[in-house]
Structure 1
Amino acid sequence: MRRPRKRGRIVTALVASVVVLGLFGWGALQLFHVFNGDDGDTKANAAPQSRPCVPAVSASPALKPMALPQPAGVTMNIYNATVRGGLAKSTADELAKRGFRVGKFGNASAPYDKKVTQSALIVAGPAAEAAAREAGTQVAGSAVKIDPTRKDKTIDLMIGSAFRSLATPADAAKARIVAANPPPAKPVCAASTPAAR
């Protein structure tokens, strides 16, 4: 009569052990999901659906492709906007060797002196935009600023604090292709709102 009781206790202990182990396993799985950021809601955790991009109002206009002049057709003034001496003269000499016409060189005027942080800032009027792009191929990291009040076709190259050297002729030739045929501007989209749960 005692043996059935022992057998019943063993079976009960085994069933209880399986239930306890199952509960521990289930709890561990839930903790794993919580710490991985998965709350089990497959709709909320699904990849965001692609939505059409609505360009922001402040997106800058795309640059249009244009034929660039040869260096001999570009007249530029070279100004040093850094604290380093001699940059305007040495840069002017090198650009003259590359075929550019150099008008003036010297220190930058007060609006630009020690205020150009990029490698160079090229300032030109609307009539000299193509010439400004051509000049920009010679200095990697340069920026072009079109001044609508300027009527002449000369450009001003302001050497900035990030300037190290002119681009190599090979790099300038590659930059010329991009400057003549700039890639289309990427639309600036408003931040998408997360999907509602």
Structure 2
Amino acid sequence: MSMLTPPGMGGKYRITGDRYPRMRRPRNHRRIVFAVIGAATALGLVGWGTLQLIDVFSGGTATRAAGSTECRPVAAPTVSAKPVPQPGEITVNVYNATARSGLAKQTADELKKRGFKVGKVGNAPAAYDKKVKGTGILLGAPDVADGRMKVLGTQLGGASTQADQRKGEDVDLIIGDRFEALAEKKDADQALVALTGPSPTPSGQKKKC
């Protein structure tokens, strides 16, 4: 009988061997689960605090990058475009630099029908006579290039623009060798509307995200 068997006990109660049985305490799974959850929560709080610090020093871009949809209202810029003159405000001098006769008067009459004022009509000055190889030249003072020349240019495709030292606001149309006719009226009207039509001016506020 083993020394581990208490006196008076035998049979099925007899303990064999010379070692005491090891008694292990059951593992507490709940404690492990709580520990994991606590660690995850702590890491989340640390990450959130770090993000807030970055957001403070970066002007809020980190929060928006992380998925925030908050937008800040900012004032929209006001656009003020320089008004473009209407055809009735533009005086056009029509000169013929080609060998074809009557071209200046014919073109001047058509421009008058389209609402332009017509000034001088005749042959081109010697500096341009028989020397304009393209469709034509629009000639005027430097300060009328962005207004009157552009409006007249809607009636004549392919014409080049030049500036001289004149003081007035009239514009010269010098007809060149490749000129055939003014642009179709419907096409010229569409180009004129696109050029002289009012541009919407932004107002109020818009949101910046």
TM-score range, shorter chain: 0.5 to 0.7
Cα 1:109/1:100, change in 2 over 3 Å: same
Structure 1 distance, partners of 2:115, 2:178, is 24
Deviation at 1:177, TM superposition (A): 5.8
Structure 1 distance, partners of 2:158, 2:124, is 19
Report how many residues are paired: 116
Deviations 1:63-95 (A, max 9, x none): xx7532111000010000001000000101110
Is 2:100 the counterpart of 1:84?
A: yes
Query: Aligned AA for 2:180?
Result: R
Structure 2 distance, partners of 1:164, 1:67, is 31
Secondary structure of residue in 2 paired with 1:157 = strand
Is 2:163 the counterpart of 1:146?
A: yes
Name the counterpart of 2:110: 94
Identity %: 46
Structure 1 distance, partners of 2:195, 2:129, is 27
Deviation at 1:180, TM superposition (A): 6.4
Structure 2 distance, partners of 1:174, 1:142, is 18
TM-score, length of structure 2 as denominator length: 0.51
Contact 1:127 1:151 in 2 (8 A): no
Contact 1:80 1:88 in 2 (8 A): yes
Name the counterpart of 2:84: 68
Please, which moves more after superposition, 167-176 or 122-131? Answer: 167-176
Among 177, 181, 185, which residue is 1:165 paired with?
Answer: 181
Deviation at 1:146, TM superposition (A): 1.9
Between Structure 1 and Structure 2, whose CA radius of gyration is higher?
2
Structure 2 distance, partners of 1:153, 1:85, is 27
Structure 2 distance, partners of 1:111, 1:66, is 33
Which sections of structure 1, spanning at least 5 residues, go unmatched? 1-64, 182-197
Cα 1:177/1:72, change in 2 over 3 Å: closer
Contact 1:138 1:172 in 2 (8 A): yes
Structure 2 distance, partners of 1:92, 1:110, is 20
Contact 1:127 1:152 in 2 (8 A): no
Contact 2:86 2:196 in 1 (8 A): no
Q: CA RMSD in A?
A: 1.9
Structure 2 distance, partners of 1:119, 1:179, is 21
Which sections of structure 2, spanning at least 5 residues, go unmatched? 1-80, 198-209
Deviations 1:111-151 (A, max 9, x none): 1101111211000002322111111111111111122x121
